[in-house]
């Protein structure tokens, strides 16, 4: 079953609290990213937890192994469900993150959706986004990462290369006909369910909707009907 994670891309605790209260009982997982965490830190995490939700802390760790190990340990102390880290930080960094025990789930970012193959060519001639994503994801899984964050469009190719049991987390979910905002590559909630994506991350279609709870319910029922 595909779980819905709502991205709390807001900048105030008041807005966060309003969304959490509106979505209470409908959504269980929430993503806290760089913006909200830089502004309000642990408070933003505790607020989700106080209202019964689980936190995906999307801070995309990328540093020397020991620093990332400590950061994962701190995330564990906050009781978050999962954290993200850049697979490009390398095998030793990933292993150091996975050494924390117990620890949150580790979800690896392969290639940022904002980068194109042309951007990668500036660093690696012949590189393509999909090739890089595949290599990084393989390295992640070989070093105890629990899931791969990628565009839903890439899931069929990556699943074939990495194995049927691979757990995928995908942003860029849009119902057909909905505004795309800056999402260039997107799939529908029904596609997410059919592709076996474990966690679908949705932000603006819910947070900017006139009725966020109704928007979340519509997405959830589209996923359930397709599964």
Residues annotated catalytic, as ranges: 60
Whichever of 94 and 170 has its CB closer to ligand C5P, that residue is: 170
At its nearest, how many Å lie between ligand C5P and the CB of residue 171?
A: 3
Q: Half-sphere exposure of 210 toward its Cβ, with a 13 Å CA cutoff?
A: 0
Q: Does the footprint of ligand C5P cover residue 33 (CB under 6 A)?
A: yes
The residue from 2, 44, 82, 113 that contacts ligand C5P (CB under 6 A) is 113
- Based on the shown chain and the rule CB under 6 A, indicate whether residue 203 belongs to the binding site for ligand C5P: yes
Residues within window 151-190 making contact with ligand C5P, judged by CB under 6 A: 171-172, 181-183
Stretch that binds ligand C5P, among 71-79, 124-132, 157-165, 199-207 (CB under 6 A): 199-207
Residue 83, SS3? strand
Task: Return the residues of window 208-227 that contact ligand C5P according to CB under 6 A.
Answer: none
Report H helices in the chain. 13-23, 34-40, 42-50, 65-78, 91-98, 117-121, 129-142, 155-162, 189-194, 204-207, 212-226
The span from the CA of 68 to the CA of 62, in Å, is 7
Which positions touch ligand C5P (CB under 6 A)?
A: 7, 9, 33, 113-114, 171-172, 181-183, 201-205
């Amino acid at each position: 079953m595909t779980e819905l994670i709502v991205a709390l891309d807001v900048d105030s605790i008041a807005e966060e609290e309003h969304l959490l209260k509106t979505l209470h009982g409908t959504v269980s997982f929430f993503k806290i990213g760089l913006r909200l965490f830089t502004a309000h830190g642990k408070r933003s995490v505790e607020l989700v937890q106080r209202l019964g939700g689980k936190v995906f802390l999307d801070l995309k760790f990328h540093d020397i192994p020991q620093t990332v190990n400590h950061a994962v340990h701190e995330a564990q102390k906050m009781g978050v469900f999962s954290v993200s880290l850049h697979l490009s930080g390398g095998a030793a960094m990933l292993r150091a993150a996975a050494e924390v025990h117990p620890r949150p789930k580790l979800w690896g970012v392969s290639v940022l959706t904002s980068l194109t193959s042309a951007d990668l060519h500036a660093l690696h001639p012949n590189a393509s986004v999909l090739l890089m994503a595949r290599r990084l994801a393989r390295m992640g899984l070989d070093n105890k990462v629990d899931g791969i964050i990628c565009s839903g469009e890439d899931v069929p190719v990556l699943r074939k290369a990495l194995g049927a049991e691979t757990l995928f987390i995908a942003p860029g979910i849009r119902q057909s006909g909905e505004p795309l905002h800056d999402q260039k590559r997107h799939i529908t909630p029904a596609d997410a369910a059919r592709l076996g994506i474990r966690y679908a991350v949705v932000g603006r279609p819910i947070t900017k909707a006139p009725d966020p709870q109704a928007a979340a319910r519509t997405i959830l029922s589209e996923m359930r009907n397709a599964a």
